[in-house]
Amino acid sequence: MAEFNENAKIWYDGKMVDWKEATVHVMCHALHYGSSVFEGIRCYDTKKGPAIFRLHDHIKRLFNSAKIYRMEIPFTIEQLEQACINIVKINNMRSAYLRPIAFRGYGRLGVDPKDTPVQVVVAALDWGKYLGDEAINIGVDVRVSSWNRMQSNTLPAMAKAGSNYMNSQLIKMEAAADGYLEGIALTPQGLISEGSGENLFLIYGGKIITPPLFASILPGITRDSIITIARELGYVVEEQMIPREMLYIADELFFTGTAAEVTPIKSVDRILIGTGKR
């Protein structure tokens, strides 16, 4: 779980402010209409000091998400990269989870965001394994959700937008209510998409297979890293549409994501994957 340090500083529109001073107005556009885009970025403690994993790629994706939603971020990519570096330094953190977010602020009500300023915040917090340390070691039990991912021409899945995560909440809450740690969503056509907040991979017939971008998935940074490293190591990696039943007969399944990192899946709908062991 994420842990808040209320003594920490937050980067807010170019200034470092106290944690409790990083507030928004209750009539903020994003609060009413979900008009925000954000990132989750890991900073790891290394022998050479804190290292932010693929910082440029994350901030570039933030700008891509904003562009899709016609949101002009009033800072450059370089300025936000530096903000991420500075927030780690000022809070004396060796490792951290960074949350840059751009949102439409206080200006006017109405679906049209005209005349609402775009504000940007970067926070740093302690966040361990998203699905828990035990999940990394023994795997997680998941279910196929009754909630589908959205069509790309309904809500653009390639944008990491706050509004998209209402769908994720439905998937996550349903899974939890039924005793599972996570849910797997299907596309509107009944094919595999992703978890509520993670990309999905399966191993079958000696190949590593993952849904393509047009399966209503987020273009995950960790997903891209896994694909790149696996191919460099000589593994066959295929991006293809996956029918639901392949989940049950896969040799291995795992989630990937900045928060989840690489988390093995032990069972789907109470059906063991492989031997059910990592």
Structure tokens of 31? 């609060």
Residues 261, 254 contacting (CB under 8 angstroms): no
Taking the CA atoms of residue 103, residue 123, residue 52 and residue 214 in that order, the dihedral angle to the nearest 10 degrees is -30
Both tokens of 34, joined, read 């979900």
Is 160 among the residues known to form the active site? yes
Hey, what are 271's tokens? 């059906």
Identified catalytic residue from 160, 172, 207, 277: 160
For the record, the structure tokens of 208 come out as: 């590593």
Question: d(Cα 120, Cα 179) in Å, to the nearest integer?
Answer: 37
Give the residue numbers annotated as catalytic, written as ranges.
160
